[in-house]
A and B are shown apart, each in its own frame.
Chain A
C-alpha cells in the first residue's frame, strides 16, 4: 500500500471499533511515513480506547526527539498558486530534519487530541500535556491541543498548568486553557 492508502486504512479503522482496528492503528504509529503516524493518531482519538495511551506517549517521545529546522527567514509561498514556491533550504540540512519541519506540530497535535479524547488521567499523560501547554517553544497548535486535552481529562492536578497557559499570548491557546479551567471546576 502506498502512503495514502495506509492513511485511509487508519481512518477507516477508526470506524470499526475493536481489537483488530486498535492493533493496526498502534502498529501504524510506527509507520515510516509521518502522514500515516498522524492519521493513526487522529484515528486513535476517534477510537477512544485507553489501550492506546502507551503508544501515543511513545509517539510523542519520538516527536520530541526529532530535530526541528527553522528557516532563517520567512518564505510565505503563494496560496493557491500554480507556481512552485522557492523556500530557502540550506543543503546541509538532513532529510530527516526537513521532514520534521514539514510535519511540525501536526503529529503532536493529533496525539494530544487523542489523549484528550481517551481522557485517561494517567500521570504520564498529564506530565506531557502540562509540559506542552507551557512550553512556548512548541507550536501553538500543540499548546492549544494540550490545553484542550487537559480540559477533557479534567484532572485537578492540571489547574496550575492551565492557569499559566490561560495567560499565553496566543489566542487559541489561552482560549482552550480558559475553557479547560472551567471544565475543572465543573
Chain B
C-alpha cells in the first residue's frame, strides 16, 4: 500500500505485544544497487529484480532461514536516494524506516546495500540511514564487478569511519554471504559513525561521502566498457530505433509461434487428465460439473500459461539487462508529444503483461496528474489476459499464410495489429486527458541509466515462478468460480428432471436478454453469455464458450475454433477482437485503480469510457466490414 497520510505524524508504534514477534530486517539502498538480488539470495522467495531504478514498487517481505532454526523477516524496500521522498514508492521506504507503516513494525536492523562500483555516490545514503540509530550492516555489493574493473576499497577503514560493520559481497555469485548471515544472527549495537553531515545540505553530504571514501582508500573501477559499447549501438541515431523495433517484433513473433509446442503439450495434459477423471466418476450431473465445468473451464485458460510466461520472460530479460531504461530514453520524445514522459513508458510496457503490476509501477512517477493519466491508459495496453481471446479468434478466422517471408505470418501480423490498436487508443486517450482534465506543466524528466548486466537465471526463474503462481491463483479464485457459476446457469432450470437445451437454460435466457444490445455488433446470444462472464476477467470467455459448446457436444469433436466459425461471421469476429481491445473487463484492475487513486471516480470513469469506446469501435468495425467483405 502507499504511504499513509492520516498517520504521518503519529509516533512510531512500540514493539508489538507478542514477545515472539519475528526480528524485522529492512533491505535499503539506492535504486539499482542489487537489493533485490541480495534479497532473493537470502530468502529464495519470489522477488522482482530489475535493473531499472524504482521497479520494486511494493515492499516485499520474505523469510530468511538461518542456522539454528532461527527465522528472520526481511523487507525489500523501494530504492531511495535520500530520506526526502519525491515519489510514492520512496515514501513507502521512508514510512517503513520511521515505523509509520501500518502493517509492519519499525525494523530491528538494516541491510544498507550500496553498489561498490559506484561508492562515491552511493555512500551519500549512509548518512541519513546511519543517523536513524538502527543497527546497520553496510553491504558493498558487486564485489566481483569492482575487482574485474580494477577498483578497490579498504573495508576495515570504511567500517571504522562509519562506526558500523561493512561487508564486501556479490549477490550474483554469493561471495562472502557468510558475513551477511553472521550479522543477521548477531544482536549488533547501533551504529556510531565518527561524524555525520547536516542531512539537509546535499553538497555537504556529498563532500562527507567523498571524504569517507578517500579515508577508506576507495579506488573507483574503470567505466564498464560493455555498457559504453552497447549504448553506442542501442542509442545510435539510426540503429537504436531499428533495434528497438526489431526487439518488439521478435518478442511478438516468438510468443505467437514459439509457444505453440508447449501449449499443445499443456492442452494434451488437460485433455488426458480430464478423460481420466471422467472414467473414474459415475455418470451423473456432478461428473459433468467436474469434467465440463471445472476441468473444461479452467483448462481452457491454463493452456495459455506457456505463452504468458514467455511474455514475462522477455519483459524480465529486458528489465534485468538494463535495456528497458534505454527504451524509456528513446520513448521519451514520443511520450512528451502525448503529454507524458519517458517514465510512463515503463508501466505501460509492463501493462503488456498485466495492468495490475503496471498500475503499481506508476508510483515512481513524481507528477500526480501524469501518474493518474498513466493509470487510466494502462488497461488499453494488450495484457496477457487478452492473449487467450485473441489467439482463439485469430486461429479460427485468419488463415495462416506467410506475409513477409518467414519473418511475419498473417496471424502474427493480426496479433501485432491488435497490440497497435490498443497502443493507439492509449495514446489518443492520453492526449485527451493531458489536454483537458489532467493538464499540468511538463515535469522534469530525470532517469538514471543502469549499467548493462547479465540477467541471472535465479531472478528470472523466481519471477516466472511468481507469475505462474499469480496466474494459477487467478485461475482458482476468479476463473474457477466463474466456470462453476456458468455451469450451473447452463444446466438449470431442469426440464422434466433433465438438463435443458442451452437456449432454454438460465444462461441462455441471460444471453438472449442482452442479444438486442449486441446484435448491431454482429454477436449472437452465445457470445453475449461470454461477454457477461468476461466482465470478471477477459480470458473467462474462452472457458465459457467451451462450456456452452461442450454442452452441445461439439467441443471435443470439432474443437472450439470450428464451433465458433458457425456462430460468428468474419466481420463479427473482427468486431469481437476490437471489443476486447478496448473494453475494461477485469475486476482486479478496477480494484487496484480504486486503491491507488483512493476514489471510485477514476475507475468508474475509466470503465464507462473504455466500455463506450469498445461498443462504438466494434459497431463501426462490424458495419464497415460487413459491407466490405461481401
Tell me if chain B binds chain A: no
